[in-house]
Amino acid sequence: MSQLKPNSSHLDNIPSTPGKFKMDKSPYVKGLRWHSALAKLSFWCFLFIGIVLIFFLRSAPSLSQSDPTRRSLRTAIWGGPNWEKRVRSSARVRSRNGISVFVTGAAGFVGTHVSAALKRRGDGVLGLDNFNDYYDPSLKRSRQALLERTGVFVVEGDINDSALLTKLFDVVAFTHVMHLAAQAGVRYAMQNPSSYVHSNIAGLVNLLEVCKSANPQPSIVWASSSSVYGLNSKVPFSERDRTDQPASLYAATKKAGEEIAHTYNHIHGLSITGLRFFTVYGPWGRPDMAYFFFTKDILKGKSIPIFEGPNHGTVARDFTYIDDIVKGCLGSLDTAEKSTGSGGKKKGPAQLRVFNLGNTSPVPVTELVSILERLLKVKANRVMLKMPRNGDVQFTHANITLAQRELGYKPTTDLQTGLKKFVRWYLSYYSNSGKKSSG
């Protein structure tokens, strides 16, 4: 029964299920149907164009802004006889018993120092870096220029680019890979999680795939992180402690990297050493790290947010000076055994190691700020803040017994001495070169 309600429109009288309502086939109605078909067609056309436009507008900035690493994949230019000549010359070993090392992330903080140190002692070094803009790329370019002066060629490209990596391994029979390319920083993972998956997981797997197939297979040393200890509260952190409670996605991707390393070692016989770095600092450092931007902001008179734990608990880090880390990296390369799977068949168990590279003397962040104040001769405008729940842990402290025994690793630089060298570099780099610290 269908009865019109007093104020209802005629549309209310049309049943919702098609077929139950028969239209009158008058010419007027036919014209209406023709118009409505045209309207429908136009509607679907507009919808289609709209969807294509939305897709285009959304995908364009995501390629160039939210995932800067991808941009380098599209723009990297490589190949040709001159390029190959540069690659070979840079990777050529110039000392007896020297090694030929492929360094990823070579224009990064640790990468630059390790590459320069290897080159200085006569090893062959070829760098790779995608020069993404996670922090000021001009600092990376300055590091590249520094390396070029020492004879290290840094190829511009991404660790996810298999064709490029395969080509490099075709041109040079690298004995070792020092894998330092990564998306770093514990807090940035809240803003750009996919960049961590892209570099620290997909990129690592891609690199290991290429290394697995290389003949001879290289030995690999790579940067894990102290952050894998996550919520572990047993101090000092030992390599045997649990690492299954990461506090940030960054830490989780580094932990995943350690498990991925295990797989490639187990199946393909790759010799792999993971290094858990503890808050590395020093000249040519990363502008996203606290000691770096605290320096910049103290000089500018801006406030310094200092995190504190529950009940005003101290937040502390086992800050480790870059030169000590470099010694640990070189010690790892020098003690790395050969991989056992060259030619596609694993001939026996291969070496798999993990080491803490820390300083074994944690310093409260408040003390870090006091040292900077003294060195800069400027009082900091401190603001104490509750530690945000975005990746930080309250303290780190390395047990380095294993690295001491196996690598001869022995840190010698305390925070005061190391920061003095950093501040000297910072002032000369940003004042003399006229560069602006945008980190």
| Residues at the site binding ligand UGA, with contacts judged by CB under 6 A | 184-186, 225-227, 277-279, 289-290, 305-307, 315, 317, 365, 392
Of 268 and 397, CB closest to ligand UGA: 397
Active site residue 250: yes
Relative orientation angle of helices 109-120 and 137-149, to the nearest 10 degrees? 0
Torsion angle in degrees (nearest 10) through CA of 46, 51, 53, 54 = 140
Distance between CA atoms of residues 278 and 325, nearest Å: 9
Alpha-carbon Rg for the chain, nearest whole angstrom, is 29
CB 416 within 8 A of CB 370: no
In 24-132, at which residue ranges do the beta strands (DSSP E only) sit?
100-104, 124-129
Of 219 and 227, CB closest to ligand UGA: 227
Of 350 and 372, CB closest to ligand UGA: 372
| Per-residue DSSP letter, 84 | H
CB of 202 to ligand UGA, least distance (A): 18
Burial of 232 (0-12, 13-18, 19+ CB in 10 A): middle
CB of 336 to ligand UGA, least distance (A): 22
Distance between CA atoms of residues 285 and 291, nearest Å: 9
CB of 389 to ligand UGA, least distance (A): 12
CB 172 within 8 A of CB 102: yes
CB of 391 to ligand UGA, least distance (A): 8
The active-site residue, picked from 135, 196, 229, 250, is 250
CB of 323 to ligand UGA, least distance (A): 17
CB 307 within 8 A of CB 315: yes
Of 45 and 384, CB closest to ligand UGA: 384
Which residues belong to the active site? 250
